[in-house]
Chain A
Amino acid sequence: MMNLEHVLKEKFGFDKFRPGQKEVIESLMSGCHTLAMLPTGSGKSLCYQLPAYLLNKTTLIVSPLLSLMQDQADQLKMRGEKSVLTLNSFLTLNQKREAFDRLHMYRFIFLSPEMLSLEGVIKSLKTLEIGLFVIDEAHCISQWGYDFRPDYLNLGEVRRELNNPLTLALTATATKEVRKDIIGKLNINQAKETVSSVDRDNIAILSERLFSYEEKLFRVLELVRKFTGSGIIYFSSKKVAEAVTGFLQENGVDSVNFYHGGMDQDQRMLIQQQFISGQLKIICATSAFGMGVNKSDVRYVIHFHMPSTMESYLQEIGRAGRDRKQSVAVLLYSEGDEGLPLHLMEQQLPSDLQIEGVCSFLSEAQKIGANLTLSEKEQLSQSFSLNDIQLRFFTQFLTGNQDPLQHVEEMKEYCQKRKSRNQEKLHKFLNWIYAQECRRLGILNYFDEKQQKLNPFCCDFCGMDANKMIDLLPAVKVEQVNSYTTWKQELAFILLKKENWDEK
C-alpha cells in the first residue's frame, strides 16, 4: 500500500490526517463503495481529493448547491490544482461546448444534479474513465432526511448508466435510517460505512429559557458583549435578523451585520468575506448563511430562533470551533417559538386545495409542469398564490406526459407524508429542548450513538452556563482596526508596496 501520509504532505501540506479521513480513503483505495459521515468542518473534501490523485482517473462530484460547488472548486484551484471543471448553468453555450470537448482532461468535474438530467451530459460522461463518483451532501437523496432534494433521486439511475463506478457518499448529519436509505437509493449495497461521532466535544451546548422577544434582545446584547471572538446569530426571519442587527448597533456593538437570502448576491458576498477575514465580528443570519463558509475561529453560535430539526441545529452549531478550540452554542427558547418553523414548514409544500387547483388548471391547458414558460409560471403562482418552493414542487413533480389530474392523489399523499415527517422531526427537537437530561446525551441518542467519554464543559444540564464560558473561551488578539485616512492614501494601501505609501 502506498504511503498515504506522504501524499497528504506532498499534495496538501498536512502532516497528519484528521479523525475519520484515513479510514475513508483506505476504504476507497481498497475498492469499496463508501458512505462517510463526517461532521462539518472536519475536512470532508480531502476524502475524495486525495484518492483522486492516487486513482489518476476522473473524479465526478455531485453537489447540491451552486455556491458550495464553486467554493470547493475555488479551494482546489487556490491550492494550485488546474484541472478543475464546474459544470453549471453559469457557463455560456460556447464554454459548455468547449468543456465537453475537453472533458477527459479534467481531474475534478463538479456537477449540479440538474446538469445530470440534461440530454447529452450522461452520454459525454460515459466516454470517460471515471475513477470515483462522489455525492456530496448525500442525505439530500433521502426523503427521510431533513433536506430532501427531488433532483437527487435519479442519482441511483445515473450511477447505473455510468457503469457503477466506485462511489463515495458524503454527509455530515444522517441518522441510521437515512444512511440506510442513501445506500439503498444509490444501490451500493455492499458499501462500507465509516461513521464519525456527531459529537463536537469542543462546543459547549447551552439552552436558555426566556419569556419575551424583548428579553431575548437584551440577552443577545449581553452575550455578544461578554463573548470574545467571532459569532453567528441564527434567525428564522429576515426581518428579525435585520431588526436585531439594528438593535445591537444602536447599543454600541459596531462590528455586526445581517445576511439573508433577500440581499443582492454582491452584497452577500461582501458580508460573508468580511466575516471570514475578521473585518466583521458578528453576523445575524438566516439559514442561508454558512454552507461553504470556511472560517475556523467562530467562537459562538447563538440561536435567536430554534431551527426545525436536530440535523439543522447540529449543522449550524457545527460552524463554531473548527479550530478545535473551546467554543459555545446558545439556544434561546421561549414558549411558542415552534410556531415559526411550523409555519415555514407548512409553506414548503402546497396544500390539497392548491394541488387540485393547479392540476386541473394544467390539465385543461394541456400543459405539463416541466415545460411551462416563465410567464405561465408567474400566472400560475398568482392564481393559486404559490411561493417559489411550492411552484418548484409542481414543475419537478409533473414531468411526465400523463394528465396532471392522474397525479392528484399521489401528490396529496406525498405532501401529507412529508408534512407529518417534518412535524415529527420538529417535535423531536422540541422534546430535546424540554428534556431534563444532558443535552449532549440527547443529541447522541438521536443519532443512535453511545457516549464515549464525559465532557468537562458539557452543557447547561451538566453545570455549564454562559458566564463560566467567558473564562473558557480562548483569548482573542485584538486586531488594529484600520481607520479611513484619505481616499488617495487608501488607494495607495491597496495597490502600492509599503515603501511607496508615504510619498503619495
Chain B
Amino acid sequence: MNNYLQVIILYAIKKFQGERSIYAIYHMLQGKKSSQTIQDAHLFGLTNIFGTIPRFTRQQLNQNIQLFHEHNFIEITDKTDAYIISGQGGRKLTDYLKKNPFPTSLNGWKYQNITPIFWGRLNLLIQTISHIVHNERRFYPIQRNPKIQCFVKEFLQNNRQDRGLIAQHLYEELISLLELQSNLKRDIFILKLTGVNRIGLTFEQIAKRKDVEEEYVRFTFLDSLHQMLAEIEQVTDYPILASLFSDWQRSGNPHLTHSTQTTLRYIQAGKTLFEIAEIRRLKVNTIEDHLVEIVLSDKSFPIAEYVSHEDEGEIIAAIKELNTKQLKAIKQEVDNKQISFFQIRLVLAKLGDG
C-alpha cells in the first residue's frame, strides 16, 4: 500500500465484512445523503470517514479494488461486488496504521458540511487580520468563494473591537486548541495558513516537507479541524472560533437532511407516518427512511410507537443469533410475518455500531 486513500478503502472493506458492495464505500466517502448510506455509516461504524472525500470517483475506487485483488488483500464473496479483507490485507492494514495512525477525531458524518465552510472562514479571517495588524491594506483574498468573503466582511463589521485585540484573542484561542493536538497536526495546520508575507502550502508541498504521503496529510488536516470543531462545541472558551460556525449550530439538527428535519417537526407535532406522507405528498417509504435517520442521530429517540417491545426483543435476539446486519437474513430468522423490514431497520438503527 502506498497511499492513505487505499488505507481508508481497505478499512471500509474490513468494516463492511462483505455485507455491502464496494459501491457502498464509494457513496460513504462521497457522503451521499441517502438513507441507505447514512444507515450504513452507523451500522458499520463508519461515521468517521463519511463524506471525507467529496471528490472521490468510481474510477479511483475500481482502480484500487483491482489493485487489492492483484495483491490478494481482499477476497471475493458470493455477493456481487462485495469483498472481505484477507489475512494478508488485514496484516498490511495493521502495519500501515501502526506507522500512520488512523485519525482519531475524524467525524465526517457530523462535520462534513461545515468543515470546508469553517476552514474557509478561518483561513480568510486570519489572512485579513494578519494584514490589518501589520498595516498592509491591500491583499488578494485567498478564499474566492463570495459567500466566505461576505461572511468575513460582516464578521469584522459586527466586531468593532480593536483589530490588534481580535488578533490577540484569535491567537490565544488557536494556541490553546492546538496545544491539545499532535505535533504533526499542529504543523500541518500552521503550514496551511496564509498571512502577511506568506501563502499557505498545498497538501502536496506539506507532504514533501514532512516526508509523509499526500493523502495522509489531507486526512490529518481534516482530523485537526474536526478535533477543533468538537472542542469548540464542548467548551465555551473559544468565542471567536465558535462564532465562525454558530449559524450552522443554530440551524437545529444540522446533520439531518433537510427533508428529514421537516419530517421530524411533524412527528414532534404528533402526526403519524401516514399522515406526514399525505401532508408532504411523499411515499410512506420515504418518511420511514427519515425516521430511521432520526433514530440514527439520536439513539434515545422513542420508537415504541413503531415497534412493540416484544417485537423489538425478537429482532434483537435474531440479530445477536446471526451476528449480521443483513435485513433479509434477520427477517427470515424472526419468521414473523407481522414484523416489517422497516421495523428491523429501526431496531438496527437504535442498536447502532455495536
**A residues neighboring B (CB under 8 Å):** 67, 70, 74, 78, 86, 90-92, 95, 249, 257, 264-265, 267, 269-271, 273-274, 276-277, 279, 482, 484, 487-488, 490-497, 500
Instruction: Indicate whether B341 reaches chain A with its CB closer than 8 angstroms.
Output: no
Chain B residues lying within 8 Å of A90, measured Cβ to Cβ, are 145-147
Chain A residues lying within 8 Å of B267, measured Cβ to Cβ, are none
Chain B residues lying within 8 Å of A95, measured Cβ to Cβ, are 146
Bound CA–CA A497/B187 (angstroms): 21
| CB<8 Å pairs between A and B, sample of 20 | A74-B140, A78-B138, A257-B205, A264-B55, A267-B204, A269-B142, A270-B142, A270-B199, A270-B200, A279-B198, A482-B198, A487-B178, A491-B171, A491-B175, A494-B196, A495-B129, A495-B130, A495-B167, A495-B174, A495-B195
A273, A279, A487, A493: the one contacting B142 at CB < 8 Å is A273
Q: Is the CB of B195 within 8 A of A493?
A: yes
Chain A residues lying within 8 Å of B126, measured Cβ to Cβ, are 494-495
Instruction: Indicate whether B339 reaches chain A with its CB closer than 8 angstroms.
Output: no
In whole Å, how far is B138's beta carbon from the nearest beta carbon of chain A?
A: 5
Q: Is the CB of B130 within 8 A of A494?
A: yes
Q: Is the CB of A92 within 8 A of B199?
A: no
B134, B141, B146, B191: the one contacting A497 at CB < 8 Å is B134
State whether A494 and B175 are in contact (beta carbons under 8 Å apart), knowing that A91-B146, A270-B142, A274-B199 are contacts in the complex.
no
B134, B144, B196: the one contacting A269 at CB < 8 Å is B144
Instruction: Indicate whether B164 reaches chain A with its CB closer than 8 angstroms.
Output: yes
Query: Which chain B residue shows the least CB distance to A78?
Result: B138
Instruction: Indicate whether B186 reaches chain A with its CB closer than 8 angstroms.
Output: yes
Instruction: Indicate whether B170 reaches chain A with its CB closer than 8 angstroms.
Output: yes
In whole Å, how far is A14's beta carbon from the nearest beta carbon of chain B?
A: 15
> Contact mask B42-78 → A, CB, 8 Å, 1/0?
0000000000000100000000000000000000000
B133, B204, B208: the one contacting A495 at CB < 8 Å is B133
> Contact mask B276-303 → A, CB, 8 Å, 1/0?
0000000000000000000000000000
Bound CA–CA A3/B201 (angstroms): 46
A67, A273, A491, A492: the one contacting B140 at CB < 8 Å is A273
The 7 closest A-B pairs by CB, nearest first: A494-B195, A495-B171, A267-B202, A273-B199, A487-B186, A274-B199, A487-B190
Chain B residues lying within 8 Å of A249, measured Cβ to Cβ, are 208
Chain A residues lying within 8 Å of B208, measured Cβ to Cβ, are 249
In whole Å, how far is B345's beta carbon from the nearest beta carbon of chain A?
A: 27
Query: Which chain B residue shows the least CB distance to A279?
Result: B199
Chain B residues lying within 8 Å of A265, measured Cβ to Cβ, are 144
> Chain B interface mostly helix, strand, loop or mixed?
helix
In whole Å, how far is A239's beta carbon from the nearest beta carbon of chain B?
A: 15
Query: Which chain B residue shows the least CB distance to A245?
Result: B204
Query: Which chain B residue shows the least CB distance to A70?
Result: B144
The total of chain B residues at the interface (CB under 8 A) is 42
In whole Å, how far is B119's beta carbon from the nearest beta carbon of chain A?
A: 9
In whole Å, how far is A131's beta carbon from the nearest beta carbon of chain B?
A: 25
In whole Å, how far is A478's beta carbon from the nearest beta carbon of chain B?
A: 16
Q: Is the CB of A270 within 8 A of B193?
A: no
In whole Å, how far is B127's beta carbon from the nearest beta carbon of chain A?
A: 9
Query: Which chain A residue shows the least CB distance to B174?
Result: A491
A70, A264, A494: the one contacting B193 at CB < 8 Å is A494
Instruction: Indicate whether B245 reaches chain A with its CB closer than 8 angstroms.
Output: no
Q: Is the CB of B164 within 8 A of A497?
A: yes
Chain A residues lying within 8 Å of B167, measured Cβ to Cβ, are 495-496
Instruction: Indicate whether B168 reaches chain A with its CB closer than 8 angstroms.
Output: yes
Query: Which chain B residue shows the least CB distance to A271?
Result: B202
Chain A residues lying within 8 Å of B138, measured Cβ to Cβ, are 78
Q: Which of B113-154 contact A (CB under 8 A)?
A: 126, 129-130, 133-134, 138-142, 144-147
Bound CA–CA A277/B175 (angstroms): 27
Q: Is the CB of A276 within 8 A of B140?
A: yes
Chain A residues lying within 8 Å of B187, measured Cβ to Cβ, are 484, 487
Q: Is the CB of A267 within 8 A of B199?
A: no
Query: Which chain B residue shows the least CB distance to A500?
Result: B168
Bound CA–CA A492/B126 (angstroms): 11
Chain B residues lying within 8 Å of A496, measured Cβ to Cβ, are 133, 167-168, 171
Which of A70, A90, A482, A493 counts the most B-chain CB atoms under 10 A from its CB?
A493
Chain B residues lying within 8 Å of A491, measured Cβ to Cβ, are 171, 174-175, 178, 190, 193
Which of B130, B146, B164, B178 counts the most A-chain CB atoms under 10 A from its CB?
B146
Chain A residues lying within 8 Å of B107, measured Cβ to Cβ, are none
Chain A residues lying within 8 Å of B174, measured Cβ to Cβ, are 491, 495
Instruction: Indicate whether B194 reaches chain A with its CB closer than 8 angstroms.
Output: yes
Q: Is the CB of B134 within 8 A of A92?
A: no
In whole Å, how far is B267's beta carbon from the nearest beta carbon of chain A?
A: 29
Bound CA–CA A80/B174 (angstroms): 31
Q: Is the CB of B142 within 8 A of A495?
A: no
In whole Å, how far is B339's beta carbon from the nearest beta carbon of chain A?
A: 36
Q: Is the CB of A273 within 8 A of B171?
A: no
Which of A276, A491, A492 counts the most B-chain CB atoms under 10 A from its CB?
A491
Q: Is the CB of B194 within 8 A of A273?
A: yes
8 A-B pairs besides A70-B144, A270-B201 with CB distance below 8 A are: A74-B141, A78-B140, A482-B197, A490-B190, A491-B171, A495-B170, A495-B174, A496-B167
Q: Is the CB of B140 within 8 A of A494?
A: no
A91, A269, A492: the one contacting B171 at CB < 8 Å is A492
Q: Which of B74-120 contact A (CB under 8 A)?
A: none
Query: Which chain B residue shows the least CB distance to A498?
Result: B134
Instruction: Indicate whether B203 reaches chain A with its CB closer than 8 angstroms.
Output: yes
In whole Å, how far is A387's beta carbon from the nearest beta carbon of chain B?
A: 14
Query: Which chain B residue shows the least CB distance to A275?
Result: B199
Query: Which chain B residue shows the least CB distance to A91?
Result: B146
Bound CA–CA A74/B126 (angstroms): 18
Bound CA–CA A277/B142 (angstroms): 12
In whole Å, how far is A249's beta carbon from the nearest beta carbon of chain B?
A: 8
Q: Which of B199-223 contact A (CB under 8 A)?
A: 199-205, 208
Bound CA–CA A264/B134 (angstroms): 30
In whole Å, how far is B124's beta carbon from the nearest beta carbon of chain A?
A: 11
Bound CA–CA A491/B139 (angstroms): 19
Bound CA–CA A465/B116 (angstroms): 49
Chain A residues lying within 8 Å of B205, measured Cβ to Cβ, are 257
Query: Which chain A residue shows the least CB distance to B189?
Result: A487
Query: Which chain B residue shows the least CB distance to A80?
Result: B137
Chain A residues lying within 8 Å of B186, measured Cβ to Cβ, are 487
Bound CA–CA A293/B203 (angstroms): 22
Chain B residues lying within 8 Å of A500, measured Cβ to Cβ, are 168
Q: Is the CB of A497 within 8 A of B140?
A: no
Bound CA–CA A487/B184 (angstroms): 10
Q: Is the CB of A497 within 8 A of B199?
A: no
